Amino acid sequence: MPRVEMLGDNRVEDIRWLCSLSESELDLIISLKEMAIRRASIIGHDSLSNKFDLKMLRGLGFVLMQQLNERLGDNPEVAESVSGCVDGSNLVKHEIKEEFREMGVEELMAYIRSDRKKRIAELLGDDADDDMVTVKKKKNKS
């Protein structure tokens, strides 16, 4: 799959944001996507899951974290520790980490295809494993 095609209709800014997420934040975004696909399938509208693109998932993650912060804020015993955790989350930040802020499409694609971030490629719908196998086979033939 060509590199730019892999991004689909996602904005480069959203891809940068996705790359800046921690593993647990990425777990949440992937779970939201899986839930959207499952729910759309259950109600017989598989095409509805396509509406849950990266921009929509980013918004949902933000809303969920804000809701968590508000609900737990009512409990003073938990409020301080959870508030710091939520505020430090990349899911609620509009500002992208500096290391990703200036990355171009090629740099983002290299980052996504690295072993460390194969899950991002899966979320975007790329079959990174097949590409890696193809590259290894070509190297072995040389």
For the stretch 56-107, pLDDT in tens is 888 898 888 888 878 777 777 776 666 666 667 777 776 777 777 778 888 8
Segment 21-55, tens digit of pLDDT: 888 888 888 899 999 999 999 999 988 888 888 88
Instruction: Specify the 3-state DSSP secondary structure of 106.
Output: helix
Res 131: pLDDT: 43
Phi, psi of 104 (to 5 degrees): -90, 180
| Residue 115 binned pLDDT confidence (cut-offs 50, 70, 90) | low
- pLDDT on residue 44: 92
- What is the reported pLDDT for 116? 56
Cβ atoms of residues 77 and 69 within 8 Å: no
Q: What is the arithmetic mean of pLDDT over 9-16?
A: 82
DSSP 44: T
Enter the pTM of the model: 0.65
Long-range contacts of 130-133 (CB under 8 A, 24+ apart): 131/1
The per-residue pLDDT for 39 is 92
- Which DSSP helix (H) or strand (E) runs through 67? helix 54-73
Element (H, E) at 119: helix 118-124
What's the rounded Cα separation, in Å, for the pair 90 and 97? 8
Report the distance separating Cα 111 and Cα 19, nearest Å.
Answer: 8
Q: Answer whether residue 5 shows pLDDT above 90.
A: no
